[in-house]
Every structure is written in C-alpha cells, then in structure tokens.
Structure 1
C-alpha cells in the first residue's frame, strides 16, 4: 500500500519532470577536456545537454556515496566487534544451558566461602 502511494505521489511526478527536462534541453553541447586549445580541442565530446547533466548528477551521487561509505568505516568496525561479542556471549549461554540441562551439581557446602554477617554497631 505504502509503496503504491510513494510510486504515484513521488516517482511518477518525478519521472514526468525528468522527461520534460530532457525534452527542453536537447541542444548539443561540446564538452572539452583540453584547457590549452579552446578553438580546436584535442579531446572533446558533443552530447545533448540533458545527457551531460544526468551523467554529472549520477557521478555526484556515486562520489557522495563513496565518501559516506569511507567516513563510516569506524562505525562498521565497531559494529563487527559488537557482533562478534554477541556471538561469543550466545555461545557461552548455550554452553551454560547445556550444562544446566545435563544436571549441574553445585559445589559442596564446605568448598563455598562462608560469609559472616555482622550487625551494625549501635553508637
């Protein structure tokens, strides 16, 4: 239900705007990669303006995603460490539960430390 709502309210109007943008910007532009010779560049390409803009937007999204991914490496490292700790604790719990089910015998009373309770002194 929510996906259909998002599709019809956001994606369809966005697609219409993109198509309108592409139709309005069909002019051919020359992109030059030669900063020294503007009249006859050694490396240039002629593309419609909307293609150039779409390619640059896609490159920007990719570069931004890579930068965010690199910035979050510390958080991912900590998350992996916590996952390993949780897995170790779960294994320990399973081991202790298995011992309990197998009939764990508590140590003899002589072997346990005795605690002495001293009442508080009334002063």
Structure 2
C-alpha cells in the first residue's frame, strides 16, 4: 500500500467517523414518534423523528446526485466526442507513419540495389 493510499484512507476515516457518530447521537436523542400526515391520500402514519429526518436527507442527497449527473451530461458528451476524434487521429497517424516507413524502406532498398549494381559494374 502506497503512502498516498494510506493518507487517503486516513482522511476518509477522519471524515466518516465523526459524521457517523453525529448520526448515531442524533438518532438516539430523537427517538420520539412524530405523526406524519400525507395530504393527498388522507393517510396518517407515525414514525420516529430521526427516521423522518434521515430519510429526508437521504432523498435530498440522491436528488442532488441525480441533478449533478444530468448537469454534467454536456461535458461527458464533449469528452466522448474528443476521445473519438483523438482515436481517429491516432489511427491516421499510424497509417501515415507506416506509409512513410514503407516508402523509406523502399527508397533504401532502391539505393542499396543501385549501389550494389554500381559496385558490380565497377569490378
């Protein structure tokens, strides 16, 4: 395990442990039942206060994450487009590079043949 992973693990633990402790303390100190009236259905349900608050916070976090994901769609689309373009340009570079290499090999072969013929002719 690298030093960076150890530091990252420590920071994660230093943030998660106090937050977990706060949630547990909140749940312990808010155990009283609270009636919850759901208006359109004329439904009256009783839940512990901590459950209502924590579920509401969880729904808010999920809603926020979904909104952040949707708002990042344009950037992800641009990144995919740029990645495809880079791949196409890399393929094109490889084709040009292999064509140049083939031409150079052909020219060197022609030069060697002409030098070889020149040597044969000189003797």
Same fold at TM > 0.5:
yes
Q: Which has the higher contact order (CA 8 A, sep 6+)?
A: 1
Q: Relative to total residues, which structure has the larger helix share, 1 or 2?
A: 2
RMSD: 2.0
CA distance in 1, matches of 2:22, 2:71: 33
- Any unmatched runs of 5+ in structure 1? 36-40, 107-123
Distance in 2 separating the partners of 1:26 and 1:42:
25
Q: Please tell me whether residue 9 in structure 1 is matched to residue 14 in structure 2.
A: yes
State the match for 2:34 in structure 1.
Answer: 29
SS in 2 for 1:5: helix
TM-score normalised by length of structure 2: 0.71
Q: Which stretches of structure 1, 4 residues or more, deviate above 3 A after TM superposition?
A: none
Unaligned runs of 5+ in 2: 1-5, 108-123
Tell me the CA shift for residue 48 of structure 1. Answer: 0.8
Aligned residues between the structures = 101
Change (3 A) 1:4 1:85: closer
